[in-house]
Amino acid sequence: MPDVTFKPTHRAGAKERRRRAEALDRHRADTRVKRLAATDEVGYLREQLRLAARLTGELAGESDVADMAQLVVAELHETFAFYLAAIQRLDEDGVLRLIAARGPLAEVMAEFLLTEQPASAGVNGRVASSGATVLVSDTRIDPDYIVRDPATDPRSELAVAVFVDGSVWGVLNIEAAEPGALREADVVLVEAIAASFGVAVHRAKLVSDLEGAFTTALAALTSTVEAKDDYTACHGEDVALLAERVALRMALSGVQARDVRYAAMLHDLGKVAVPSEILLKPGPLTDEEWVTMRSHAAIGGELVGRIEAFAHLSPAVRASHERWDGGGYPDGLAGEQIPLEARIIAACDTYDAIVTDRPYRPARTPVEACAELSRVAGTQLDGRVVAAVIEELDVLGGSARRAAA
């Protein structure tokens, strides 16, 4: 048997050793471990192929990298009962940081904050530096393995680089309690999953970049309004942020909620066609001036509809000043004839207008604004939306109070 060399600088303390022993006992008692040990090679290969195909499909439906990482390690652990399945992200400062882990050993790592290591150390560091897969049949004889407790450390390890756009993004790592427990078939599986994960991360980055460009374009459009009315520009941003949160509270999807935010950013775009002397008038508007002012909703909807990337937001922009009772403009829509996105924008718009100083009146308090929303619920505004707005404002108010405490 080869000489065994341990690195004393990484030894675990007594409490951690106890927790690791308990985790190892739970792992060995897991019926899935015993079942998989008794599975023949063909059966094991079938399980691997099913998992690889399933994960590829599931990753295609995800957009959040943290959720993707959790999905990968959860599926690996649930299917093959690995002692540890983990993903580390390689940061710009040369540190591998744990972003997702499952398995009995993962619980110990979380408890003792074993979540970072330099990319210059350990088996995973070797993979991050070289980009080459490493299969360790016995960790006790690997010169790079970082020992914490010889009695309970995993005895075999497989580490695979995750590549994103041609560069090492991180490491996908699985570990087993017994020596020789990981085989070449596991290498094929984990490399395939790492490749799928890398593609999904790259796709998420591209989508994020596209959304950033989309938001920049929206900001450029709304800046044309800002040039005429500073209030409208700041007001639109505040309304947009609140509207997105309310949309999520009302169980709209993330994509739908983003569309609500975008439409809210654009809902006053038509004011570029309103003369400044009307837009900035410090006193009440005449009936004729109100006709001109109210034309901005239809104009805004038309302008947005002309831009292919934003055209789907046009109905919400046009209807953002309609009233639940049918007394709004430009089309006199009532009730659920008004798109839900527009009803959300209208309620958030009303709240923000009340709590903002205007040339002709001072701002009122959030409590007074919520009371006013409740008063007009069912007439001017959708009562269900008003309830969601007030609930969201309660959450935001509680967060602000806690931050100030």
Q: What pLDDT, on the 0 to 100 scale, is given for residue 218?
A: 65
Q: How far is CA 367 from CA 56, 76, 199, 376, 403, in A?
A: 49, 50, 48, 15, 19
* CA atoms of 222 and 266, how far apart (whole Å): 6
Which residue did the predictor score with more confidence, 150 or 307? 150
Whether pLDDT at 173 is above 80: yes
Q: If you write DSSP's letter for every residue of 220-287 in order, what string do you get?
A: HHHHHHHTT-HHHHHHHHHHHHHHHHHHHHTT--HHHHHHHHHHHHHTTGGGGGS-HHHHT-SSPPPH
* CA atoms of 333 and 377, how far apart (whole Å): 16
* Torsion angle, alpha carbons of 384, 390, 393, 398, to 10: -120
Q: What is the mean pLDDT of residues 184-210?
A: 86
Q: What is the mean pLDDT of residues 311-325?
A: 95
Using pLDDT thresholds of 50, 70 and 90, give the confidence band for residue 111. Answer: confident
Whether pLDDT at 230 is above 70: no
Q: What pLDDT, on the 0 to 100 scale, is given for residue 359?
A: 62
Nearest to 351 by CA among 365, 337, 335, 334: 365
Using pLDDT thresholds of 50, 70 and 90, give the confidence band for residue 222. Answer: low
Q: Say if residues 396 and 366 touch (Cβ distance below 8 Å).
A: no
Region for 335 from its dihedrals, namely left if φ exceeds 0, alpha if ψ lies in -120 to 50, beta otherwise: left
Q: What pLDDT, on the 0 to 100 scale, is given for residue 399?
A: 46
* CA atoms of 289 and 21, how far apart (whole Å): 79
Backbone angles phi and psi of 300, in degrees to 5: -60, -45
How much is the mean pLDDT over the chain?
85
Whether pLDDT at 6 is above 70: no
Whether pLDDT at 26 is above 80: yes
How many C-beta atoms lie closer than 10 Å to residue 37's C-beta?
Answer: 11
Q: What pLDDT, on the 0 to 100 scale, is given for residue 228?
A: 57
Lowest-pLDDT choice from 36-45, 98-107, 291-300, 333-342 = 36-45
Mind listing the pLDDT tens digit for each residue in 126-170?
A: 999 999 999 999 999 999 999 889 989 999 999 999 999 899 999
Using pLDDT thresholds of 50, 70 and 90, give the confidence band for residue 225. Answer: low
Lowest-pLDDT choice from 46-60, 81-95, 236-250 = 46-60
Using pLDDT thresholds of 50, 70 and 90, give the confidence band for residue 55. Answer: confident
Percent of the chain with pLDDT over 70: 88
The predicted model scores a pTM of 0.58
Q: What pLDDT, on the 0 to 100 scale, is given for residue 235?
A: 56
Q: What pLDDT, on the 0 to 100 scale, is given for residue 210?
A: 65
Q: What pLDDT, on the 0 to 100 scale, is given for residue 403?
A: 43
